[in-house]
Amino acid sequence: MNPRKLQNSLKKRTKILLDTSFILPFFGIRVSEIPEYVIDLIPKMSRNFTFIYPKLMISELIAKISKECIKTGRQVSLLKHDFETFLAQVDITIVDPTPEQLILAMELRVKGHRDIFDCIAYSTAKYEKALFLTIDDAFVDFLKANNYDISFIISYTNLKKLLT
């Protein structure tokens, strides 16, 4: 997205939907595509933005954290501290689904996007009038190819330019 358009968008929108990839590092799960400085920015941004996360995506977060526990042998009981720390550092609102969000998510899935959680994130951001912070270029390409609005989708590089 053009930085000037994004700046205007940020003035109008105060919500940012975080893709799961931006939450995983708070649980010790490194996402190689996301530089550490971006993860450090998120708690600081809580002062100026409302972060949102769809309730329907909590299962994705739990599945990814559990998979990492299996892979590394980490004790699940130790995650309680990570959840408490994350919630203390990042002001995040869990968003209940609306019928419109569900219909759009299903429409995206039926049109061929295989990851229902991407579909849920997109539809939630759209109807919540939030920016959608994601690293999923393939999903953005799918949306473009199917003529969906991508004006509210941002990458961490756009975010960094505007906030530093």
State how far the Cα of 146 lies from the Cα of 37, in Å rounded to an integer: 33
Task: Kindly report the length of the chain.
Answer: 164
pLDDT at 91: 85
Percent of the chain with pLDDT over 70: 89
Q: What is the pTM of this model?
A: 0.87
pLDDT at 9: 52
3-state secondary structure of 8: helix
Q: What band does 4 get if pLDDT is binned at 50, 70 and 90?
A: low
Six token digits for residue 40? 């450090």
Residue 87's closest CA among 58, 116, 67, 127? 58
Q: What band does 11 get if pLDDT is binned at 50, 70 and 90?
A: very low
Position 164 pLDDT exceeds 90? no
Residue spans per domain, the chain: 3-163
pLDDT at 7: 53
Position 13 pLDDT exceeds 70? no
pLDDT at 79: 87
Residue 43's closest CA among 70, 58, 23, 27? 23
Tell me the pLDDT tens digit for each residue of 127-162: 999 999 999 999 999 999 999 999 999 998 887 665
Q: What is the mean pLDDT of residues 26-50?
A: 88
Amino acid residing at 72: T
pLDDT at 12: 46
Helix (H) or strand (E) holding 53: strand 50-54
CATH code reported for the domain at 3-163? 3.40.50.1010
pLDDT at 64: 94
Question: With contact defined as beta carbons under 8 Å apart, do 48 and 162 qualify?
Answer: no
Tell me the pLDDT tens digit for each residue of 51-93: 999 999 999 999 999 999 999 998 888 888 888 888 888 889 9
Greatest Cα pair distance in the chain? 46
Phi-psi region of 91 (alpha: psi -120 to 50; beta: other; left: phi over 0): beta
